[in-house]
């Protein structure tokens, strides 16, 4: 592997080239081993991990529970992506893309699988009529910001985060390209949040739930080493105001720590948060 590289006529997979993700990434899809998914008692079964994409689903579920909607009770099972849990027959059966989060909705006559974080929070918003306006320009605005986030996340994570933090050597061209795009995305959000309390409008919505785990982690300095300094996060004051407002929401606080070492590794009941906090002391 070298920085001075001329592509051959045909690309051939070299396992050693994956850097931090060498054990995970493959150029093929599909199950790699047998394995069933556990199923708990609650209507929603979530198979995930507490990464920003995983947090979108758990924040949404915890926000619904915070509203007193008991029908949104869920079991969160941990999918250890570095141990290749996403390649079992069970997981691939609910997400052919082998990425967390994936969910099964058991609340109806037959189980419904939902994969892709954006699809999961949209499914829940529609099911419970929460965090998504019912129509008109308000709904269009929330969906626009939701899909903006889903489309942008790979430039931040797979682009900037990968080349700035995880890549085995630092490539200036790649870091420049994705730092520029990540800063541009922060500026898009900052401009919007200067004129609007939340991304979709006056009310907190699934657009915020999708975007907050990504922008919040970088703005707070919790992601990719010292990325907050590198990307001059102090320039994005309106994003900081919005992150602080969501940081204070109990549902967001709980949702951020599910399936992480800071909270319950698996979540099956509200009491799991207190148990995890006590175990940590």
Ligand X SMILES: N[C@@H](CCC(=O)N[C@@H](CS)C(=O)NCC(=O)O)C(=O)O
Q: Write out the residues near ligand X by the rule CB under 6 A.
A: 24, 51, 53, 81, 86, 98-101, 116-117
Minimum distance, C-beta of residue 51 to ligand X, in the bound complex (Å): 4
Nearer to ligand X, 102 or 132 (CB): 102
CB of residue 53 vs ligand X: minimum separation in angstroms?
A: 4
Tokens of 97: 């893309």
> For residues 67 and 62, what is the distance between their CA atoms, to the nearest angstrom?
9
Residue with smaller CB distance to ligand X, 87 or 186: 87
Distance, CA of 130 to CA of 245 (rounded, Å) = 19
Smallest gap from Cβ 149 to ligand X, in A, equals 9
For residue 116, the minimal CB distance to ligand X (Å) is 5
Nearer to ligand X, 99 or 240 (CB): 99
**Cα(128)–Cα(138) distance, rounded to whole angstroms?**
17
In whole angstroms, the minimum distance from the beta carbon of 136 to ligand X comes to: 27
The alpha carbon torsion through 63, 67, 68, 72 (nearest 10 deg) reads -40
* Distance from C-alpha of 166 to C-alpha of 20, rounded to nearest angstrom: 6
In this complex, which beta carbon is closest to ligand X, that of residue 45 or of residue 117? Answer: 117
Query: Of 240 and 256, which CB lies nearer to ligand X in the complex structure?
Result: 256
């Amino acid at each position: 592997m070298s920085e001075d590289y001329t592509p051959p006529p045909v690309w051939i997979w070299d396992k050693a080239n994956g850097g931090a993700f060498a054990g995970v990434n493959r150029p093929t899809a599909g199950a790699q081993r047998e394995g069933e998914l556990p199923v708990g008692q609650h209507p929603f079964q979530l198979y995930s991990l507490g990464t920003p994409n995983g947090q979108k689903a758990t924040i949404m579920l915890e926000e619904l529970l915070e509203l007193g909607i008991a029908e949104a009770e869920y079991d969160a099972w941990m999918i250890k992506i570095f141990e290749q849990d996403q390649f079992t027959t069970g997981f691939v059966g609910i997400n052919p893309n082998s990425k967390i989060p994936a969910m099964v909705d058991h609340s109806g006559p037959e189980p419904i699988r939902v994969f892709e974080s954006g699809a999961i929070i949209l499914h829940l918003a529609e099911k419970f009529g929460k965090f998504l306006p019912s129509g008109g320009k308000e709904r269009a605005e929330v969906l626009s910001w939701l899909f903006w986030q889903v489309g942008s996340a790979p430039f931040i994570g797979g682009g900037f985060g990968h080349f700035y933090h995880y890549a085995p050597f630092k490539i200036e061209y790649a870091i420049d390209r994705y730092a520029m795009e990540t800063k541009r995305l922060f500026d898009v959000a900052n401009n919007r949040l200067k004129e609007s309390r939340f991304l979709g409008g006056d009310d907190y919505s699934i657009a915020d739930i999708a975007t907050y785990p990504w922008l919040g982690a970088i703005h707070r300095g919790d992601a990719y080493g010292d990325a907050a300094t590198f990307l001059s996060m102090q320039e994005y004051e309106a994003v900081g105001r919005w992150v602080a407002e969501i940081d204070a929401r109990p549902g967001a606080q709980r949702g951020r720590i599910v399936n992480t070492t800071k909270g319950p590794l698996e979540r099956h009941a509200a009491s799991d948060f207190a148990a995890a906090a006590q175990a940590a002391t």
